[in-house]
Chain A
Amino acid sequence: MTTKMMGAKVQRVEDDRLVRGTGRYVDDVAPDALHTAVLRSPHAHARILSIDVDAVLDVEGVHAVWTYDDLEGAMAEPLPLLIPHPTLTHGRTQYALAKDEVNYVGEAIAFVVADDRYVAEDALARIAVEYELLPAVVGIEAARDGAHLVHDDVPGNVGARMEQSNGDAAAAIAAAPRTLSLDLQIERSACMPMEGRGTVARWDPDQNRLQVWTSTQTSTGVRAAVAAKLGLDLGQVDVITPDVGGGFGVKIVHPWPEELLVPLAAQKLGRAVKFTEDRREHFISSAHERAQVHHVEVGFDDDGRVLGLDVRFWHDHGAYTPYGLIVPIITSTQLLGPYKPGAYHVQFDSLYTNTVIVTPYRGAGRPQGCFVMERTMDAIAAELGKDRADVRAINFIQPDEFPYEQGLIFQDGRELTYDSGDYPAMLDKIKELVDWDGFESFRAAKAAEGKRVGLGLACYVEGTGVGPYEGAHVHIETSGKVKVATGLTSQGQGHQTAFAQIVADELGVRFEDVEITTGDTRRMAYAVGTFASRAAVMSGSAIHLAAKRTKEKALRIAADALEADVDDLEIVDGVVSVKGTDSSIPLGTIAVLSNPLRYAFDEASKAATQFNVGDPTKPPVAEDDEPGLEGTDFYSPPRSTFASGMHAVIVETDVETAEIRILKYAVVHDCGHLINPMIVEGQIHGGVAQGIGGALYERMAYDESGQLLNASFMDFLMPYVTEVPASIEIDHLETPSPLNPLGIKGAGEAGVIPGSAAFAAAIEDAERLPITAMPISPSELFALRAAHAQESK
């Protein structure tokens, strides 16, 4: 290779196919499949007294209708609690179909299989369910109050109470020269991928084998779950993840009821069966995130140095806890961001409510933590009359302090140790990018035009690339093409491009000759999944290692064939040559030589006949060797690697209408070495758009009875392209991670994390009134202005 691919702005090879509409998603698989529909609870909390499906049985085109009573064995048990935790003392999960009680609007009650979705929905309308309504617990206040319980056997609606500390925060605050307390809250939003959930299954009676296509972030996870629940051997189940139209976290949850019911139906009916979630279902029966209420006590000195920080917060996890405590644990640990408070104590309650379950959504608890920490920094600066950037700078972990131990246990059960970073350099960059020092003159100029503007800054650190492992298999074909498989899934990240760049560099092959397969358990049975900004770090590293292994084998065979020393060889464009000579051999020919098979099928085989390899006195496949030019390897890091970033935003708040306009959005981002800056910037753009959504537009509007009032894209306001600034200014810092061979850190979630924190700061700066709850709408800003004017009187 003459040019290094790593770090190059390589155009995504996926886009042509996806943008032209030739992507292949779960719903495109098996057009002959039977369709399914799910009867969902219309009530937030009710006992099911009876279910009468008789009227469905004679509907033409209906093949099956199931309720809980039709489930057997493991299928009749509650769904798995995927990530238990010792402090999750009252974890609860739902059944695939509700047993006796429903706990949120949207919970699955009955399952219909029919010729098509129209007939299936007609059938749903004929199922009669008798309910006894129970009081609904909606919102953190009602949950905390505990007057009504979501689950009778969970006192106070508290699923978990967890506490961590580093030092004696209470004492530090008591002794601090200055203190502040803040109450801060964030509302619910959700991932909202373009493609909802979806599963297709086909039972092959000839092979006694189940094939499942599902729109997931973990095909290996779904495979294990389906096998366990259906009582099949793992070896009887294949799970294939085709193109996925976005995940953002919601599709790491598994198995969804439909992910089990569809395979079960396929097996029982002997037909391909499909579930394609519709948008309303996605709103009321997938997952949400973000709702938390926080109370902060902070003690600091006259320079703004945080001496003690005590955070108590309440996390609304919805009706069940299938994904454990990942979100609040991340908030409680990642809240500290780039700072090193003298002492820290955090305690949270994870609370049940009669609402859709809460599981990680891009950012996964970090947007809340960042909001809390950054609001606190701004409050300290305001209290001291100091520059907000200066107060942050004085609290930064310094570049010579890495690895830095925060003295806490992170979400992966490992110590929270930052591997690398350079926060002071990053602050310099963001200040320059947003013209921090020139802002007051900009403000004055705008004020002269009768306009009100504000500037906000938010900093974060993000633990990325969590373990335990990913693997990769690299196979060089006799054509010289390189087939690579890694087990985690792709939902738009550009893995085909980024991973091929890594392979091209390591193997010395053309980028175009590398083909990447993800999320297919037939190709790679051991894998974890695509979440926690881990794909590049985990699979990227594994692919690098597997490519390296394959290269070593190729060079060994080449050295034998060319009668040269391995150290004298190089690989350029898929051809191994002895440096400085004409002596060479293509990788495809080496692949032929690597397999001592007698048959010659093609030109590649004939071309290989000129070479002699191997020791004729030993077996054709030597001891400790294998036929074929392949390499498999796994990467398993000791702990997460910590990326970081800083965002600054300038807003105008309309003096008359309270509309909030974005004048400038600037990002400095550090994810270590960049594999592909174009992909990283695309990730940042998407993240920033979601951050804008979370800060200014999106909320789940539940009423007191637990009905979701805005379960459509008409009323749940995701930003359109018209609400996102045409230009997002990005600068990179590259502080390599010492934990992996490529020096990379994750980038997937970063863009969304500081959105609410940065906007709250900018709006507060423009309006000179405290912003303590996000998101904020023009109507709410108008109300805040009115309340503030009233108080000032």
Chain B
Amino acid sequence: MKPAPFDYVRPGTLEEALQALAGHPEAKVLAGGQSLVPLLSMRLAAPAVLVDINELPDLDHVRVDAEGVRVGALARHARVLADADVARVQPLVTKALANVAHATIRNRGTTVGSLVHADAAAEMPMVLQLLGGSVDVVGPAGRRTIPVEELYVGPLESSLHHDEIAVEAFFPALAADTGVAFEEIARRHGDYAMCGVAAVVTVDGDRVVAAKAGYLSVSDIPAVVDLTEALGGELRDASLARAAEAALAVLEPETDIHATADYRAHLATVLTARVVTAAYEDARTRAGGSK
């Protein structure tokens, strides 16, 4: 389990990093390395060059304002998870991060790295998708913002160009009268979930005026389903069942060695009800608190 030979550069400026990428079509960007390094060690990936961005300035930030949370490319999961402002402005980010792997992996892995790795079994791409966030990238043509709707194009495939570096992710702030919840079921603590669901629910008094759920590990790319219509404004067993049906119509769970497609679909149903209910309660609490 030793990587095949590769060249390694550790540029000190973004410009140098971009040049290194541009010069090598087989180059890969290394930040936290929690997905890339195992792939290298198992020789499942053999890039000619690793462009280590850990020395780049000004990418290690977590900035929070009324609009939302901005996470720099070198901010580790653990740091984002521990940020009280993040939890206040967009609590779903915090709730989801607590489910990302294990503490040691969160200490090294970067949130932006996870987002552009584009794994539909990972928590953060789904959360970005659900919240309607975006990723800023810098390339030879300068900086551009990729809205999440345009980010995930296929399994483990993002719309980043090879010569671009993701520098920042943006998670929009929690809207008024809105609550969130997250739950996943994994074989072991910290494993990739067999299914995970996050929900964002907006209320007006007792009524649900908007509800969306995001799904982990039951589709090729991070899946988000609008459940507003299926719920019909209220949370009852029947409306929650309709919501789950609406989700299953979109989801494409598959069988692997850990769980059958049927079981994953069942978990999606169970978790839809649990998580939508929890997000609703959260919204009611927040709405009550703000009055």
User: Which residues from chain A sit less than 8 Å from chain B, CB to CB?
Assistant: 117-118, 121-122, 125, 278-280, 656-659, 697, 701, 709-710, 712, 714-715, 717, 719-720, 722-723, 777-779, 782-783, 786
Contacts and interface: CB of A to CB of B under 8 A. Distances in A.
Contact of B2 (A121, A659, A722): A121
Contacts of A777: 187, 258-259
Nearest to A721: B189
CB-based closest 6 A-B pairs: A722-B189, A779-B259, A779-B263, A278-B1, A701-B257, A118-B2
Interface string B212-229: 000000000000000000
B191 interface: yes
Contacts of A657: 185, 266-267, 270
B258 A280 contact: no
B289 interface: no
A719 B191 CA distance: 11
B187 A697 contact: yes
A722 B190 CA distance: 9
Interface string B1-43: 1111100000000000000000000000000000000000011
Contacts of A782: 260, 262-263, 266
Contact of B4 (A125, A279, A709, A722): A125
B188 interface: yes
24 contacts: A118-B2, A121-B43, A122-B4, A279-B1, A657-B185, A657-B266, A657-B267, A657-B270, A712-B42, A714-B192, A715-B257, A715-B258, A717-B191, A719-B188, A720-B188, A720-B190, A777-B258, A779-B194, A779-B258, A779-B259, A779-B263, A782-B260, A782-B262, A783-B263
A650 B257 CA distance: 27
Given A777-B258, A779-B194, A782-B266, A118 B188 contact: no
A339 B254 CA distance: 46
Interface string B39-53: 000110000000000
Given A280-B1, A717-B191, A720-B189, 19 more contacts: A118-B2, A118-B3, A118-B5, A122-B5, A125-B43, A279-B1, A657-B266, A697-B188, A701-B257, A709-B257, A714-B191, A715-B258, A723-B189, A777-B259, A778-B187, A779-B258, A779-B259, A779-B263, A782-B263
The listed residue with most A CB atoms (<10 A of its CB), out of B2, B185, B189, B267, is B2
B184 to A, nearest CB: 11
Interface of B: 1-5, 42-43, 185, 187-192, 194, 257-260, 262-263, 266-267, 270
Contacts of B257: 701, 709-710, 715
Nearest to A699: B257
B244 to A, nearest CB: 12
Contacts of A656: 270
Contacts of B192: 714
Nearest to A783: B260
B42 to A, nearest CB: 7
A280 B258 CA distance: 19
B98 to A, nearest CB: 13
Contacts of B259: 777-779
A786 B266 CA distance: 11
Contacts of A723: 188-189
The listed residue with most B CB atoms (<10 A of its CB), out of A657, A659, A715, A720, is A657
The listed residue with most B CB atoms (<10 A of its CB), out of A117, A778, A779, is A779
Contacts of B270: 656-657
A722 B189 CA distance: 6
A701 B256 CA distance: 10
Nearest to B5: A122
B185 A659 contact: yes
Contacts of B3: 118
A277 to B, nearest CB: 10
A35 to B, nearest CB: 9
A373 B6 CA distance: 56
A709 B267 CA distance: 24
Nearest to B46: A125
B185 A722 contact: no
Contacts of A118: 2-3, 5
Contacts of B42: 280, 712
The listed residue with most B CB atoms (<10 A of its CB), out of A117, A658, A697, is A658
A782 to B, nearest CB: 5
B48 to A, nearest CB: 14
B262 A717 contact: no
Contacts of A779: 194, 258-260, 263
Given A117-B2, A118-B2, A118-B3, A722 B188 contact: yes
Nearest to B189: A722
A180 to B, nearest CB: 30
Contacts of B187: 697, 717, 777-778
A257 to B, nearest CB: 19
